[in-house]
Structure 1
Amino acid sequence: MPVPTSPPLPREARLFRNNRSQAIRIPVEFELPGDRALIRRDGDRLIIEPIKKPTNIRELLSAWREKEPFKPEDQFPDVEDKPVDPEDVF
């Protein structure tokens, strides 16, 4: 049975400028997987979450829907369904 680990204690991090953006050095114990993250504001707090890569088609479609909902004009156009030509299979 694994031993539960407690989350790391809060730690001060250094803020710095990178061109016109403010950046933060994230200590190794708070490291996020991947190379992209979501950031949002909650009052005075900034919440940073890793972007989870979809593992199946359902998660991929759900992620796309959350990013930008489909609009009727984005649907596929009507396509004429032509009859199939018979083929000689023997």
Structure 2
Amino acid sequence: MAKPMTKTQLVAALADEMGSDKKSAGGALDAIISVITREVSNGGAVTLPGVGKFYCRERPERMVRNPATGEQIRKEADKVVKVTVAKALKDSVND
């Protein structure tokens, strides 16, 4: 498995793709992250065409097991962020 791309590498690749400098590419990436974070934390969803959909899902209260002791404990209801990968991205990986 290849090492994940760092933010610095992503900004450099984005700047190259945009034909722009790294500062404006970094600003664009930070703006996208900010919009996704704000929208999902407010209960909305964001779809990036060709990449996927980011959304918040509520999980109900449930019983879980402590792996160290085997004791069952009740876990409160919580929210988690989910990402559904777009079919186009899945297909590009399997080609």
TM-score range, shorter chain: under 0.3
User: TM-score if structure 1 supplies the norm length?
Assistant: 0.22
Answer 1 or 2: higher relative contact order, Cα 8 Å, separation at least 6: 2
Larger Rg computed on CA atoms: 1
Higher fraction of helix:
2
Higher fraction of strand:
2
User: TM-score if structure 2 supplies the norm length?
Assistant: 0.21
